[in-house]
Chain A
Amino acid sequence: MTIIERPSTEVAIAGAVPVGVKPSEALGVFKRPAASSSWRDWVVTVDHKKLGIMYGVAAFVFFLIGGVEALLIRLQLIAPDGKVLNADQYNQMFTMHATTMVFLFVMPMAAAFANYFVPLQIGARDVAFPRINAFGFWCFLFGGLFLNSSWFLGGGADGGWFMYAPNSSTLFSPSHGVDFWTMGLQITGIASLTGAINLIVTILNMRAPGMKMMRMPIFTWMVLVTQFLLLFAIPVITVALFLLTFQRSFDATFFDVASGADPLLWQHLFWIFGHPEVYILILPSFGIVSEVIPVFSKKPLFGYPIVAMSGAAIGFVGWGVWAHHMFASGLGPVSVTVFSMSTMAIAVPTGVKIVNWIMTMWGGKLTFTVPMLFAVGLVTQFTIGGLSGVTHAVAPSDTQQTDTYYIVAHFHYVLFGGAVFGLFAGFYYWWPKMFGRQLSESIGKWNFWLMVIGMNMTFGPMHILGLQGQPRRMFVWTKARAGEGLFNFGFWNRIASIGSFILGVGILLFIINIFYTHKLKKGALASNDPWDARTLEWMTDSPPKEHNFDVIPQINHLDEFFHRKYEQDSATHSVTQVHSADEVMAELNAHPDEHIHMPSRSYWPILLALSLPTIGYGLIYNRMLMAIGVAMVLLTMFGWAMEPATSPDEDFDPPESGDTHTKELVPHG
């Protein structure tokens, strides 16, 4: 049977075209871009795997930018009365560091893995809306570049990543930094929103036959929860950003306290977005380690349904805790009590996950490869951050900690020790599948240990600094108020700064590892299943061919690939391998599908995305430019609407011989 991975509705396109005209020319405004191997192919691609890689590369570059910003902050604070940055530059630095890491690194890096692996894990050939997927990537990239272009146009935003109003109004922040920030986040928000719709529909609608919800890999589950959080959180910050833009550009009065505005409005809007946001950052990493730990423990994930449902529970309760960011703002005792309790409650599903990971490892045959090290690193480091998080849930304690380095310590343990470690586990785990070579384990181990040591040296002392009273966001600390003895600011700030450079070296080793593996070609060529893994993405080539699977597998189990390789003796419960990975694939691909339609390349996503920063620059500098941007949006949308998702003349068959090593696609007709 032939399987075409696209909505059946589009089949009718072919009939609508006048006879004798090539469909691609009849329906597009431009000539449809053809397949090629040059860089142009990356500009017009709609392939979820290429877009995943592009998300990853761009996010990693932003990670390095954000990292340099962090190092400058630590250089400034290494000694009393730092001279590296002045107060204004320091404000811009911590604002842009946080904004970059949250919106331009962790979110898009999770999107990179989601884009690449969700279709593979559910046995699909692409996402539901491939062109919207490409549009989302370009929005993220252009939004990020737009935001960072503020460095060259008068300085970055300087109000903190939460950008509290009225501090962010033109009176207190007269440069264009905040304008770049609002418009930049608006554009990356479009990327997140379209990505959320796309991935939700993909996961709900495009699962392989037999893949019920409770047979989905746990990473796909966590991505699904994350995308629902994004779907409902992004519009809230969209409103907040619009209000701020109207305030700054059109003199609206939303945050003008003199005319009676309520400064808490911004805080509520921001944190109703902002707290789901922290789960948006961490849940994909939870998903990744939930894939990695079972594979390297040689055991199924302990309590799969509980891990999936606790993720969903975090997704629900995550909406009821936002005001714990505002305990110090005078909400009143009832609000504080309610949010304090809900914050303690959300620790429960999180703790459940940690128990499940530990129980998965318990009694397993553990192999400490680099992905496993990072996964265990997440379990330990995130737990530290989670525990200090519970101390913020206690409102009286939080009131003491608010705006001190203790908070900085907490969220770096959960974000760096949690989200980033999870992403690095993902890099090492999925690298052979994505690029066909394995990253060096020995460099990887240095990479891991330097990162663990570096992060604990950097963020561990911040607990002490915070409890000793060093405030966040202060561009200097002075010797006079540094205190004495073991807990003085001088010693621990120096440790933290040295640690941050060790951390930097650790991350540098990752880049060296990539260079070593690919440029020097020292990395071993990866087999299709190098880790003896359990899920569908390993049941195809490394790297996968454009249409992912020659045959869409029928799913009968959770961990389908594992069940095809191994059989359990019903009497002794012992598990024995009955097929190798290659045998499983050869059997699956014996009769490859014919006439596979893949979504066709398109110019429209990048053109539509380009019009958005045009509007942004127009809003800041020239209203004419803004009008041009709006016109571009309308024109490109029409062009897009006129162009069918799949040009009907592209149709190809995989090689008939069943030769699984052939990765080339054969164009048909």
Chain B
Amino acid sequence: MAESAIAHDHGVSHGAHASSTGLSNNKMGMWMFLGSECLLFGGLISTYMLYRGRVSSGPQPNNIFDIPFTSVSSFILLMSSLTMVLAVSSAQRKDDRNTNLWLTITALLGATFVGGQVYEFTAFYREGLGFTTSLFGSSFYSLTGFHGVHVSVGIIMLMALVGMNRNNRIPGDKAEVVELIGLYWHFVDIIWIIIFTLVYLIPS
């Protein structure tokens, strides 16, 4: 409460009028974007759920998944949400050093997850599951690939944020920019929880 009051005063002192809803434009825009992303993953997940059991050739899902390995990489990705929260918290305390530190750790954890995915894809490919092998293969690689691209984009944003923060070139409210990237990052993590459950844990 105190913080929002300060932010409000800050705005008035510069003559800006507060937004009609009280939420900043950037934050509302990010929420809208994430709402839209839900439908993107909704479409991909539906496609996968339709095709998961359709294997005309190549390996079956149950024979190929390495649940312990993916559990570990999932755990790493979820831990990156924790470090992201710490980054946002540091940014709100205007602690640049720790903000950069936690952002970097978040990016590294994300990169570890993506690395694990690359390893997993390579292993699956060696075991005979290509992108064109079967409907399962096409839809599996599309769904998890799209998620991997989202994580990678998140890593680029985190690293760019660290770079811009070090040179003091983040425009506007720094804490809010970190928070926005954080919203995206948490969203991508939550999507992974759904994907991990539906793709890996529930047997087809």
Chain B, residues 15-41, CB within 8 Å of chain A (1/0): the string is 111111101111011001101111110
Digit string of B133-167 for contact with A (CB within 8 Å is 1, else 0)? 01101110010001000000000100010001000
Contact across chains for B169 and A16 when beta carbons are under 8 A apart = yes
CB of A238 closer than 8 Å to a CB of B: yes
Contact B135 A253, beta carbon cutoff 8 Å: yes
Task: Tell me which of A129, A201, A269, A595 contacts B15 (CB under 8 A).
Answer: A595
Instruction: Determine whether the beta carbon of B32 is less than 8 Å from that of A197.
Output: yes
Flag if A8 contacts B16 (CB, 8 Å): yes
The contact string, 1 if C-beta is below 8 Å from chain B, for chain A 247-270, is 000111110100111100100010
Q: Nearest CB to that of B57 among chain A residues?
A: A259
Which residue of the partner chain, among A10, A232, A239, A265, contacts B171 with CB atoms under 8 Å? A10
Q: Is A275 an interface residue (CB 8 A)?
A: no
Verify A3–B160 contact, CB threshold 8 A. no
Interface flag for A145 (CB, 8 Å):
no
* Complex Cα spacing A204 to B19, Å: 8
Q: How far apart are the CA atoms of A209 and B135 in the complex, in Å? A: 55
B186 within 8 A of A: no
Q: Does B115 sit within 8 A of A, measured CB to CB?
A: no
**B19 engages A259 (CB within 8 Å):** no
Which of B46, B135, B142 touches A246 (beta carbons < 8 Å)?
A: B142
Contact between chains at A269 and B43 (CB < 8 Å): yes
Stretch of A58-66, A374-382, A461-469, A641-649 on the interface side: A641-649
Interface size class of B (residues with CB under 8 A): 35 or more
**Is A641 a contact of B160 with CB atoms below 8 Å?**
yes
- Residues of A with C-beta under 8 A to B82: none
Contact A265 B47 (CB under 8 A): yes
Interface SS of chain B? helix
Residues of chain A within 8 A (CB-CB) of B127 are none
Q: Taking the complex as formed, is B14 at the interface, i.e. its CB lies under 8 A from any CB of chain A?
A: yes
The B-contacting residues of A in range 271-328, CB under 8 angstroms, are 272
Q: Which residue of B lies closest to A237 (CB)?
A: B43
Does the CB pair A7–B172 fall under 8 Å? Answer: yes
- Which one of A16, A205, A242, A552 contacts B23 once the chains associate, using CB atoms below 8 Å? A205
Are A242 and B142 interface neighbours, CB within 8 A? yes
Q: Is the CB of A236 within 8 A of B171?
A: no
Interface residue ranges of A126-184 to B (CB < 8 Å): 128-129
How far is A600 from B117 in the complex, measured between Cα atoms in Å?
Answer: 42
Contact (Cβ within 8 A) B15 A193: no
Candidates B14, B32, B50; contact of A201 at CB < 8 Å: B32
Closest to B169 in A: A642
If the complex has contacts A209-B17, A235-B40, A254-B135, are A128 and B50 also in contact, measured as CB distance less than 8 A? no
Contact present for B17 and A250 (CB under 8 Å): no
Which residues of B sit under 8 angstroms from A437, Cβ to Cβ? none
In the complex, what residues of B have CB within 8 A of residue A10's CB? Answer: 171-172
- A232 CA to B131 CA, complexed, in Å: 28
A8 near B36: Cβ-Cβ < 8 Å: no
Could you tell me if A204 and B33 are in contact, using CB atoms closer than 8 angstroms?
Answer: no
Which residues on the A side are within 8 Å of B132 (C-beta)?
250-253
Q: With A and B bound together, what is the CA distance between A254 and B173 in angstroms?
A: 45
Alpha-carbon gap, A253 to B26, bound state (A)? 39
Q: Check A644–B171 contact: CB distance below 8 A.
A: yes
Chain A residues within an 8 Å CB radius of B135: 253-254, 256, 259-261
Report chain B residues within 8 Å CB of A8: 7, 10-11, 14, 16, 18, 24
Q: Please, how many angstroms separate the alpha-carbon atoms of A645 and B26 in the complex? A: 12
Q: Is A533 an interface residue (CB 8 A)?
A: no
A259/B134 contact (C-beta < 8 A), A4-B14, A645-B171 known: yes
- The reply to whether A9 and B173 contact each other, CB–CB distance below 8 Å, is yes
The 8 Å CB contact of A205, one of B7, B28, B42, B131, is: B28
Count chain B CB atoms within 10 A of each CB in A16, A233, A638 and give the residue with the most: A16
Task: Supply 17 A–B pairs (Cβ within 8 Å), ascending by A.
Answer: A3-B16, A8-B11, A9-B26, A12-B171, A200-B28, A200-B32, A201-B29, A205-B28, A231-B36, A232-B36, A243-B47, A246-B142, A253-B134, A256-B135, A261-B54, A638-B160, A644-B172
Q: Which residues of B contact A (CB under 8 A)?
A: 7, 10-11, 14-21, 23-26, 28-29, 32-33, 35-40, 42-44, 46-47, 50-51, 54, 56-57, 131-132, 134-135, 137-139, 142, 146, 156, 160, 164, 168-173, 176
* Given contact pairs A11-B10, A236-B40, a sample of 7 additional A-B residue pairs in the complex whose CB atoms are under 8 Å apart: A3-B17, A7-B24, A9-B26, A16-B170, A253-B132, A259-B57, A260-B54
- A interface residue numbers (CB < 8 A to B): 1-4, 6-13, 16, 27, 128-129, 193, 196-198, 200-201, 204-207, 209, 211, 231-236, 238-240, 242-243, 246, 250-254, 256, 259-262, 265, 269, 272, 552, 595, 634, 638, 641-642, 644-645
